[in-house]
Structure 1
Amino acid sequence: MGVDTPLLTNNHSDHEDEKKRNYVREFGSESRTLWKLAGPAIFTSICQYSLGALTQTFAGLVGEIELAAVSVENSVIAGLAFGVMLGMGSALETLCGQAFGAGQIRMLGVYMQRSWVILLTTACLLVPIYVWSPPILEVIGETTEISEAAGKFALWMLPQLFAYALNFPIQKFLQAQRKVLVMAWISFVVLVLHTFFSWLLILKLGWGLTGAAITLNTSWWLIVIIQLLYIFITKSDGAWAGFSWLAFADLWGFVKLSLASAVMLCLEFWYLMILVVITGRLPNPLIPVDAISICMNIQGWDAMIALGFNAAISVRVSNELGAGNAKAAKFAVVVVSVTSVAIGVVCMCVVFATRDYFPYLFTNSEAVAEETTQLAVLLGITVLLNSLQPVLSGVAVGAGWQSVVAYINIGCYYIVGLPAGILLGFTFGFGVEGIWSGMIGGICLQTIILIVITSITNWNTEAEEAESRVRKWGGGIVDN
């Protein structure tokens, strides 16, 4: 026995080393798969985010009222529509992703058409918000001059609303098949064209807001048309089999999942936007509003990275659950969480290190820059939290938990975070720092709850539910 013990010890040690090496290899393999999805998805998000941002920049070179009109329309009216459309389109991430993983390729085209029906109907319901945007904007505190200019621009931007309705289902359809490079290239080409024609029409030819509306609408429709041509010509490897009456089958079930997705994402999307509105209610709000707008601008760009990871993990989880690979889905969640938090830590450190300098990229005012520097600590914490929170939301979308997360968001954000922020900011007199701190509390609580839910999830059960979901909404085209 005394002779065998060292042998057993060595064998055990070798076995442990081999397990560690295997884990590292698996982690590296999953990480490469993740980045193949997340990299192009992040690039696509940045390109499409830049369309509105560039239009805003060119409008600012024309005049103050033009800048205000585009800024308000982009952030309030189009921002509202963007959140609703992105949210409702996200139902497709669950269904297309799980159908693709299950090998039911033909279902993807039918799902996309069902989503088009629902989103185009939703777009029609949102038209009155565009038409009556001037009084709506005045109610939330905008001046009459800005409200009328933004309202006029909003009417011209109605074509963009219907482009959203077609674009988001198309993107989820392509994303589920991991055709993210196609979207990235299309978005990049359109962004280059958009930059040139914005300069030509807005500045060179002096068309002002009219030129801004023409270029922004055309760019969004160009993205939709090129993506559709790609799908129709290539048949998307069998996922597109032409238009079908099955698009109108079981619409109510599809509507419920779409609404749950919309509520879940909109509650997140609008949460930090509300921060700016509440800050505007403080005494002498000009400097705090300018400072927090700068911070939200930084947060907006950082959010594009999180959106890329959100898309990537949604695809990975839905694909693996659809294929019945519960263990692989769970491992994908671990890899993306570690990767995203690591990037969040780096971004937080960058914010902290540059807090005395980055405000001057956006303002010449010493008072605004000083206030922004004070808020940088809260910005850094928000950046870190928002590196993990969208990833966990992506897991929820991939697994089909939208309804559960919608309730969690209502509780954490609007029953805890928002009242806490108002209490700290106004009642206890901490101002904008108090408002933001309270809202960070809401994000913290939501993140903790999602971590707990993800940790205790039985992934085998989720895989079985994914199979059931694919069969339930197959619309009669599930292969036997």
Structure 2
Amino acid sequence: MGRLGEMIWEESKKMWEIAGPAILTSVLQFSIGFVTVAFVGHLGFIELAAVAVSQNIVEGFAFGFLLGMGSAVETLCGQAVGAGQIHMLGIYLQRSWILTGLTALALTPVYIFTSPILKFLHQSDEISEVAGRFCIWVIPQLFAYAMNFPLQKFFQSQTRVWVMAAIAAAALALHVLLNWLLVTKLEYGLAGAAIAGNISWWVINLAQLVYLVSGYFPNAWTGFSLLALRSLTAFVKLSLASAIMLCLELWYYTAVILLVGSLKTKPEIDVDAVSICMNLEVWTLMVAIGFNAAVSVRVSNELGAGHPKAAKFSVVVTVSTSVLLGILFTAAILIARSEFPKVFTDKPVVIRETIKLGYLLAATIFLNSIQPVLHGVAIGAGWQSLVALVNVGCYYVFGLPLGALLGYRFKLGVVGIWSGMLAGTLLQTIILTWITYRTNWQKESFQAEERLQTWGGQSEHQRQPHNVNGFIEN
């Protein structure tokens, strides 16, 4: 028992070195959107609903695709660090920038034509018009995401995350100040909120770029290289698999907003209530995403180094820690479910509708303490394609149809739609838990070596020989 306790303690320290600042960074960066909703929520029903639709449907669509494309860097950089191939990290980063930049360009028309797209999806005309204008104003944030996500994964793979957290904290403080100035003081409304968001996101990018080129990564970053243009086809395969896996996850919540917005009665109030819950749910999800980053880095590092038992042990420790925090968040929501809506709105009818969703929100938060961490395992091990198939079945074949049936056919409205979403998430969590439990980690270690040679560019490097270290052996 003493030996096991020592192992858990050592693994927990390694995990928290990544998860702590990663959680802080995720929470701070998400809080930029959180602050925007808080300021806009006091402008009126339509403004709040429009920003909610913009963030959860249009920006969520783009955010998911770009974050997924950037997650290929997470797999390859993490495994390259474990294999001692630090010189490849900068090349992977540049390849990812090429792909995410082109993806952002391809997604720009979605922002430009948001209004007709939302109307085609049976959203309220008034909400669609306002959301359309807002999305055009926040196009600079689309390209900020394209630069930011690969850069974050580059830093995380080397456990350089505290600087990211400090930058995010400074940007959030600036964002609050800008919103107060532009939205409240100068009364620029939604345009002011968009400008504040654009400035804040690009401040984050510029600060991170300065950190990148300031000499702190002498082996991983040696400047721009034409090698980034090689093996792009192979790199695209992993990037697309990552993007599809993550998009199917994030678009699930987008689809829920669409279903709620199509309800025949009081769509503005329903969308406002769901968006408030979604914002709070995603805020707690940022904590799980910190563990997602930690387990992804730990698993990819250990598999790259040829330590399959260490990878498996890291999964157990990280999932257990995240679940404990999830229980605390669930309890907090249940206790405060009558109070948290007042942070976003002073409209009594919206507050009442939001309170009704408190129990479903609490259950969703608990499941989200498990499921994103298992996604991190998938990214670290390179299972993106498999998890994408699981997401399709659980979410789009089971969860959404069930939600639509409960919400429309059985006239349960928002509660029915959310219940269906929750059922799909529960099924997905059970399946991912089973897959992780049944994994042959020795086989995954061999596949990590093949992946570095194939998707990283076979001719560029060979895996360095490694010794089995310490207390967790091959």
| TM-score above 0.5 | yes
Shift, 1:131, TM fit: 1.6
SS of residue in 1 equivalent to 2:369: helix
Take 1:352 and 1:65, find their aligned partners in 2: how far apart are those partners?
A: 28
Q: Are the equivalent residues in 2 in contact too, given 1:279–1:285 (CA < 8 A)?
A: no
Aligned to 1:153: 134
Distance in 2 between residues matched to 1:205 and 1:53, nearest whole Å: 20
Q: Aligned letter for 1:154?
A: C
Aligned CA distance change for structure 1 residues 380 and 403 (closer, same or farther; 3 Å)? same
Q: Is the 8 A contact 1:130 1:154 kept in 2?
A: yes
Asked if structure 2 preserves the Cα contact closer than 8 Å seen for 1:264 and 1:409, the reply is yes
Contact 2:52/2:272 (<8 A) preserved: no
Q: Deviations over 1:283-337 (max 9, x none)?
A: 4244544433332222121111111111111111111111111111000000011
CA distance in 2, matches of 1:208, 1:368: 21
Q: Does 1:184 align with 2:178?
A: no
Q: Displacement of 1:196 after TM fit?
A: 1.9
**Structure 2 letter corresponding to 1:77:** V
Q: Report what 1:12 is aligned to.
A: none
Other-structure match for 1:477: 460
Q: Which residue of 1 aligns with 2:372?
A: 390
Q: Check if 1:409 corresponds to 2:391.
A: yes
Look up the match of 2:408: 426
Following TM superposition, by how much is the alpha carbon of 1:127 offset from its aligned partner in structure 2, in angstroms?
1.2
Larger relative helix fraction: 1
Q: Which runs of 5+ in 2 are unaligned?
A: 465-474
Query: Aligned to 1:228, which of 209, 213, 220?
Result: 209
Paired position in structure 1 for 2:469: none
CA distance in 2 between counterparts of 1:121 and 1:23 reads 48
- TM-score normalised by L of structure 2: 0.91
Aligned to 2:280: 298
Distance 1:423 1:208 in 2: 38
Aligned alpha-carbon RMSD (Å)? 2.2
Per-residue CA deviations over 1:166-212 (Å, capped at 9, x if unaligned) read 11110000110000111101111111222223323344344444433
Is residue 259 of structure 1 aligned with residue 240 of structure 2? Answer: yes
**2:296 is aligned with 1:314:** yes
Deviation at 1:64, TM superposition (A): 5.8
Distance 2:312 2:96 in 1: 28
Aligned to 1:284: 265
Residue of structure 2 equivalent to 1:129: 110
Select which of 367, 370, 381 maps to 2:363: 381
Question: Aligned residue pairs: how many?
Answer: 461
211, 215, 223: which one pairs with 2:192? 211
- For 2:34 and 2:356, the matched residues in 1 are separated by 26
Contact kept in structure 2, 1:120 and 1:162, CA below 8 Å: yes
Cα offset for 1:103?
0.9
SS in structure 1 at match of 2:322: helix
Helix, strand or coil: the match of 2:132? helix
Contact between 1:385 and 1:444, CA under 8 Å: does it hold in 2? yes
Q: 1:114 to 1:429 in 2, by over 3 A?
A: same
The residue number in structure 2 matching 1:327 is: 309
TM-score, with length taken from structure 1? 0.90
- Larger mean Cα displacement after TM superposition, 459-468 or 349-358: 349-358
Aligned AA (1:446): Q
Q: Distance in 1 between matches of 2:350 and 2:196?
A: 33
The 8 Å contact of residues 54 and 195 in structure 1, kept in 2 or not, is answered as yes
Which is higher, the Rg of structure 1 or of structure 2?
A: 1
Q: Quick check: 1:82 aligned with 2:63?
A: yes
Q: Which moved more, 1:353-362 or 1:116-125?
A: 353-362
**Amino acid aligned to 1:352:** L
**What whole-Å deviation, never above 9, does each CA across 1:222-242 have from its counterpart, x for those lacking one?**
211111111111251410011
Instruction: Work out the CA distance in 1 between the residues paired with 2:220 and 2:125.
Output: 50
Q: Per-residue deviation at 1:363?
A: 4.9
In structure 2, how many angstroms separate the alpha carbons of the residues matched to 1:358 and 1:151?
28
Q: 1:345 aligns with which of 321, 327, 331?
A: 327
1:145 Cα shift?
4.0
Shift of 1:115: 0.5
What 5-or-longer segments of structure 1 have no aligned partner?
Answer: 1-19
Residue in structure 1 matched with residue 21 of structure 2 by the alignment: 40
Matched residue type, 2:185? K
Q: Which residue of 59, 76, 93 maps to 1:95?
A: 76
Aligned-residue offset at 1:398? 0.4
Distance 1:82 1:107, change over 3 A: same
1:29 and 1:56 mapped to 2: Cα distance?
40
Deviations 1:351-409 (A, max 9, x none): 22333444444455665545444432222221111110000011000000000000010
- Name the amino acid aligned to 1:91: A
